[in-house]
């Protein structure tokens, strides 16, 4: 019928576009406006929020609940659309205008299988931010992650204190542990449905190894589960859709899309943040904030914008020709979750493929492969290394549609020819399975820095993965677990055999040196940058205090994944939303309107 035909055309057109999409190298689309010498007055607001991503959408929604407050929300990207609502299309979005288009700098310890040793570092550029193009997985992390934030000098962030804010956002449809989930919040959580026919092999194999099914967002995390996702009847629920769509109807919230903030204007002598300069529609504007400016531009762009505005490491800013207003370690603590992609298996058990029309009809009815990101049927967590014994070190994702994204995988992953050949020729989407391993508590630290003082330039993203050998050792524990898992009775039934790994052939196969080399070639990240503007009490190691106020500057907070002081045993979207929920209450409390 008409609707199915519309979706079929849309998917066909957007996937074709993705294959030839030219990934931007800079913010050139804003160049004309940036060069304009005329600055137009955009008015005065109580709060200006920079970035309508996972956190910014929530902050703008919650602050605009106070009818007397006027809020300006500035977002560099545009609106969401029918295509990005389809979860299984998430990889294609990385080859679209919804992605900033960043790559890492050339790496020496990782990304060795990628062209120029650069890993792609996608970031969402739309209402909803990265939640508008992410893999919709809802994984909060471990209670001890948040208790550690308190140990690092951040009162108020213990698990007991943040759990109510996870619950507040949620409209949970899952049969999870009681006391851990919310009903009636803005943000839907459901299981990706239905898992494919190999899911039972996954669960049964885990049980054979004494790994039990559980609700990983509940009481315990070390176990195995179906995937909890932010979709509603199978459609993506970005924070743009879930939160902003309603809030935008309020008269006191002004949302401007396609607006790049180029500077936070700070009075140098008083060190008070006063307003912002931004570019939209080829014109330059300034707006002022009477109460506060909230920077929610994400863990890559927030540090870039702070540095462009004079807040950052003194020597680096001086090197870039930027006047230093506050010397803080901005960008210096980049945390990422490395993702190892080398474990693919042939099986003799087909998932059964359907034609596009059936897939679309099922999607519109809220189920089937199109409702799921890459068919991540299930996931599990295992302990390793020096984290407390109930905290996982490695997460494994069970993916049952290994080849479905083949036409674009090379470009999304930036694979070199060797790895492209491997993937294109050795994986058959229908019967093969892939395990992705995620290292949750990496020791290596990267850095975000400026390429120049020009906001049209992209920042430098140095991932620096695997600079600490312990990270390799912990990954190998995960690899050994998966090799045991596919030897279980449940996996033997589908005859799972490891697809040959095309790199590192000089080493004895499956030796430690072989895995060390393979991990460095076939790992990228799970796109979870955080920690670049960490919270803490000390100006030499942190950028914001525990209320997320920038040290030494008045009327300026950072609210996004950059403020995590240490990493999460999960994914970063849910915690970014939690941080935004919590700090919105802190702000309301500061202005004594919390219970109004
Ligand atoms: C491809 C991909 C898959 C992922 N999958 C998952 C997943 O399945 N589960 C999960 O939990 N996490 C996932 N993540 C990570 C997760 O989505 C992010 O950690 C989270 O969205 C970060 O939220 P944030 O508010 O910190 O930043 P963002 O959501 O990135 O928001 C920043 C916003 O600020 C805007 N902005 C930036 N600079 C400026 C500027 N100068 N002026 C105006 N606006 C600006 C951006 O356009 C963006 O909208 C994924 C990320 C990616 C990229």
Is residue 11 included in any domain, yes or no?
Answer: no
Q: How far apart are CA 535 and CA 540, in angstroms?
A: 11
- Residue among 358, 229, 294, 352 at smallest CA distance from 50: 294
Site to substitute for ligand 1 among 24, 78, 297, 530, most atoms within 8 A of C-beta? 297
Residue 76 Cβ contacting ligand 1 at under 6 Å: yes
- Ligand 1 atom closest to the Cα of residue 99 is 53
Give the ranges where 209-252 is alpha helix by DSSP (H): 239, 245-247
Site to substitute for ligand 1 among 119, 135, 217, 298, most atoms within 8 A of C-beta? 298
> Residues 483, 489, 493, 499: what is their CA dihedral angle, to the nearest 10 degrees?
10
Is residue 214 included in any domain, yes or no?
Answer: yes
Is residue 131 included in any domain, yes or no?
Answer: no
pLDDT tens per residue, range 25-63? 999 999 999 999 999 999 999 999 999 999 999 999 999
Residue 75 Cβ contacting ligand 1 at under 6 Å: yes
Q: How far apart are CA 87 and CA 105, in angstroms?
A: 29
Q: How far apart are CA 17 and CA 555, in angstroms?
A: 43
Is residue 167 included in any domain, yes or no?
Answer: no
Residue 96 Cα to ligand 1 middle (Å): 15
pLDDT at residue 355, as a whole number: 86
Closest residue to atom 18 of ligand 1, CA basis? 573
Q: Are strands 283-295 and 338-346 parallel, antiparallel or unpaired?
A: unpaired
pLDDT at residue 420, as a whole number: 76
Is residue 464 included in any domain, yes or no?
Answer: yes
Q: How far apart are CA 120 and CA 104, in angstroms?
A: 6
What is the reported pTM? 0.98
Is residue 204 included in any domain, yes or no?
Answer: yes
CATH code, 422: 3.30.560.10
Q: How far apart are CA 403 and CA 152, in angstroms?
A: 43
Q: How far apart are CA 238 and CA 213, in angstroms?
A: 27
Q: Are strands 187-191 and 283-295 parallel, antiparallel or unpaired?
A: unpaired
Residue 573 Cβ contacting ligand 1 at under 6 Å: yes
Q: How far apart are CA 98 and CA 374, in angstroms?
A: 18
pLDDT at residue 133, as a whole number: 97
Are the C-beta atoms of residues 196 and 351 closer than 8 Å to each other?
yes
Residue 529 Cα to ligand 1 middle (Å): 9
pLDDT at residue 429, as a whole number: 67
Residue 328 Cα to ligand 1 middle (Å): 23
Q: Give the chain's residues under pLDDT 50.
A: none
Is the Cα dihedral 366, 367, 371, 373 positive or negative?
positive
Residues in the chain: 596
Residue 301 Cβ contacting ligand 1 at under 6 Å: yes
Element (H, E) at 163: helix 159-169
pLDDT tens per residue, range 476-506? 999 999 999 999 999 999 999 998 888 898 9
pLDDT at residue 401, as a whole number: 67
Residue 235 Cα to ligand 1 middle (Å): 18
- Euclidean distance between the first and the last CA atom of the chain, given in angstroms as a whole number: 50
Opening angle at CA 466, ends 462 and 469, nearest 5: 150
Q: Which two tokens stand for residue 396?
A: 């494994």
Is residue 500 included in any domain, yes or no?
Answer: yes
Q: How far apart are CA 236 and CA 229, in angstroms?
A: 9
Residues 6 or more apart whose CB falls under 8 angstroms from that of 358 comprise 368
Are the C-beta atoms of residues 53 and 128 closer than 8 Å to each other?
yes
- Residue among 260, 170, 274 at smallest CA distance from 454: 260
Residue 548 Cβ contacting ligand 1 at under 6 Å: no
261 assigned binding-site residue: yes
Give the ipTM.
Answer: 1.00
Q: How far apart are CA 421 and CA 264, in angstroms?
A: 46
CA 497 distance to own-chain centroid: 31
Residue 204 Cα to ligand 1 middle (Å): 35
Active site members: 528, 571
- Ligand 1 atom closest to the Cα of residue 125 is 47
Q: Are strands 39-50 and 71-74 parallel, antiparallel or unpaired?
A: parallel
The structural domain count of the chain equals 1
Return phi, psi of residue 126, to 5°: -175, 170
Q: Which residue matches tokens 């299981």?
A: 191
User: Domain limits at 395?
Assistant: 173-236+335-525
The rounded percent of the chain whose pLDDT value lies above 90 is: 87
Is residue 458 included in any domain, yes or no?
Answer: yes
Q: How far apart are CA 310 and CA 140, in angstroms?
A: 34
Q: How far apart are CA 383 and CA 392, in angstroms?
A: 4
Site to substitute for ligand 1 among 26, 51, 279, most atoms within 8 A of C-beta? 51
């Amino acid at each position: 019928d008409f609707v199915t035909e519309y979706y079929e055309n849309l998917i066909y057109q957007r996937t074709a576009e993705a294959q030839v999409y030219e990934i931007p190298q800079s913010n050139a689309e804003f160049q004309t406006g940036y060069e304009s010498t005329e600055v137009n007055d955009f008015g005065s607001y109580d709060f200006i929020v920079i970035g309508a991503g996972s956190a910014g959408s929530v902050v703008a929604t919650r602050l605009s609940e106070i009818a007397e407050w006027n809020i300006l929300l500035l977002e560099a990207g545009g609106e969401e659309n029918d295509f990005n609502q389809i979860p299984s299309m998430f990889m294609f979005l990385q080859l679209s205008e919804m992605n900033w288009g960043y790559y890492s700098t050339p790496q020496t310890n990782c990304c060795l299988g990628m062209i120029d040793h650069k890993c792609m570092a996608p970031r969402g550029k739309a209402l909803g931010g990265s939640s508008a193009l992410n893999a919709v997985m809802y994984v909060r992390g471990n209670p001890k992650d948040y208790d550690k934030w308190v140990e690092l000098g951040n009162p108020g962030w213990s698990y007991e204190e943040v759990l109510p804010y996870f619950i507040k956002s949620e409209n949970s449809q899952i049969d999870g542990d009681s006391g851990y989930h919310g009903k009636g919040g803005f943000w839907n959580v459901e299981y990706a449905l239905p898992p494919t026919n190999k899911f039972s092999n996954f669960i049964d194999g885990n049980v054979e190894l004494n790994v039990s099914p559980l609700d990983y967002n509940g009481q315990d995390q070390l176990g195995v589960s179906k995937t909890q996702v932010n979709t509603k009847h199978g459609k993506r629920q970005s924070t743009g859709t879930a939160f902003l769509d309603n809030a935008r109807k309020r008269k006191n919230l002004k949302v401007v899309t396609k607006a790049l903030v180029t500077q936070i204007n700070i009075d140098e002598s008083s060190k008070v943040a006063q307003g912002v300069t931004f570019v939209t529609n080829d014109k330059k504007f300034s707006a002022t904030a009477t109460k506060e400016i909230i920077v929610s531009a994400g863990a890559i762009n927030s540090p870039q914008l702070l540095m462009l505005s004079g807040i950052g490491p003194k020597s680096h800013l001086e090197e870039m020709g930027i006047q230093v207003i506050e010397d803080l370690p901005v960008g210096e603590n980049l945390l990422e979750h490395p993702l190892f992609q080398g474990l693919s298996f042939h099986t003799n058990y087909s998932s059964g493929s359907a034609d596009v029309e059936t897939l679309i009809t099922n999607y519109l009815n809220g189920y089937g492969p199109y409702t799921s990101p890459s068919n991540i049927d299930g996931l599990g967590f295992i302990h390793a290394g020096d984290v407390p014994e109930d905290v996982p070190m490695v997460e494994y994702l069970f993916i049952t549609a290994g080849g479905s994204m083949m036409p674009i995988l090379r470009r999304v992953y930036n694979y070199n020819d060797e790895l492209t050949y491997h993937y294109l020729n050795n994986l058959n989407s229908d019967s093969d399975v892939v395990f992705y391993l995620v290292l949750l508590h990496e020791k290596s630290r990267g850095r975000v820095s400026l390429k120049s003082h020009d906001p049209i330039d992209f920042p430098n993203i140095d991932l620096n993965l695997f600079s600490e050998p312990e990270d390799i050792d912990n990954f190998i524990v995960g690899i050994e677990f998966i090799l045991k898992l596919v030897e279980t009775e449940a996996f033997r039934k589908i005859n799972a055999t490891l697809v040959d790994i095309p790199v590192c052939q000089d080493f004895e196969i499956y030796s430690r040196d072989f895995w060390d080399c393979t991990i460095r070639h076939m790992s990228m990240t799970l796109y979870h940058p955080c920690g670049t503007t960490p919270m803490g009490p000390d100006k030499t190691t942190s950028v914001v205090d525990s209320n997320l106020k920038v040290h030494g500057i008045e009327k300026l907070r950072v609210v996004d994944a950059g403020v995590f002081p240490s990493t999460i045993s999960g994914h970063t979207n849910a915690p970014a939303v939690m941080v935004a929920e919590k700090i919105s209450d802190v702000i309301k409390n500061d202005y004594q309107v919390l219970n109004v």
